[in-house]
Amino acid sequence: MTRMLIIGPPGSGKGTQAERISERLGVVAISTGDIFRANVRGETPLGVEAKKYMDAGDFVPDSVTNKMVRDRLSEADVEDGFLLDGYPRTTAQVDYLDEILANGDQKLDVVLQLTADDEELVARLLGRAKETGRSDDNEGVIRHRLDLYHEQTEAVVAKYAERGILTQVDGIGGIDEVTDRVMQAIKEAQAA
């Protein structure tokens, strides 16, 4: 049983690594970005609301995001653990998640941060924009998303560091190489 978070700047490969961790640990991966994108594709009211923010590289408001996460974490498949990808991104979201977990008598085991240099990330994301046509992958929006990461999400990382459950992994390198580092780091964190 593992309950963990994966945090990383846009372009750090956290989605790819999250899928691999999920397979190897047998826990469900929940990506708030993926849930938003599925809603955008399905043109649901949630998707229509979220799209405005996503296209600008802004955070979707907590009033929308928090409730969505709470609902998702109340489903049966997370009883045996979960890996949250892309949430929390603000300290207010940390507080909200704390409350959800406390209500369920649960706690986080590991918070994994993937690290990477900004210029490397911009180059990667511009490459991805060509391949996937993601509407939030142009240079202005990319830089804005990185700025938000530094301004808001690094404070989230600091909170978990204070609690002693943060483990950092270098996200630069081949996908398999990074997965090896990630799995090793999780193993060490769980043994600690």
State in angstroms the smallest separation of the CB of 172 from ligand AMP: 18
Q: Which is nearer to ligand AMP, 172 or 180 (CB)?
A: 172
Q: In this structure, what token pair is assigned to residue 125?
A: 């994301």
33 in contact with ligand AMP (CB under 6 A): yes
Binding to ligand AMP (CB under 6 A) within 97-116 occurs at: none
Per-residue DSSP letters for 72-92? HTTSGGGTTEEEEES---SHH
129 in contact with ligand AMP (CB under 6 A): no
User: Binder to ligand AMP among 87, 96, 149, 160 (CB under 6 A)?
Assistant: 87
Tell me the C-alpha to C-alpha distance, in Å, between residue 191 and each of 37, 84, 139, 187. Answer: 36, 21, 41, 6
User: Binder to ligand AMP among 39, 46, 51, 59 (CB under 6 A)?
Assistant: 59
Q: Which is nearer to ligand AMP, 65 or 167 (CB)?
A: 65
| β-pair type (110-115, 28-31) | unpaired
Catalytic residue numbers? Answer: 14, 89, 128, 134, 145
Contact 83, 6 (CB under 8 A): yes
**Cβ neighbours of residue 8 under 8 Å, at least 6 residues apart?**
14, 113, 114, 115, 116, 171
User: Binder to ligand AMP among 3, 51, 124, 145 (CB under 6 A)?
Assistant: 145
Q: Which is nearer to ligand AMP, 25 or 54 (CB)?
A: 54
State in angstroms the smallest separation of the CB of 192 from ligand AMP: 27
For residue 28, what are the β-bridge partners? 82
124 in contact with ligand AMP (CB under 6 A): no
Q: Of 31, 36, 26, give the one whose Cα is nearest residue 1.
A: 26
54 in contact with ligand AMP (CB under 6 A): yes
22 in contact with ligand AMP (CB under 6 A): no
CA-to-CA distance for 157 and 118, rounded, in angstroms? 17
66 in contact with ligand AMP (CB under 6 A): no
Q: Which DSSP symbol is given to 173?
A: S
Footprint on this chain of ligand AMP (rule: CB under 6 A): 10, 32-33, 36, 53-54, 57-60, 65, 86-87, 89, 93, 136, 145
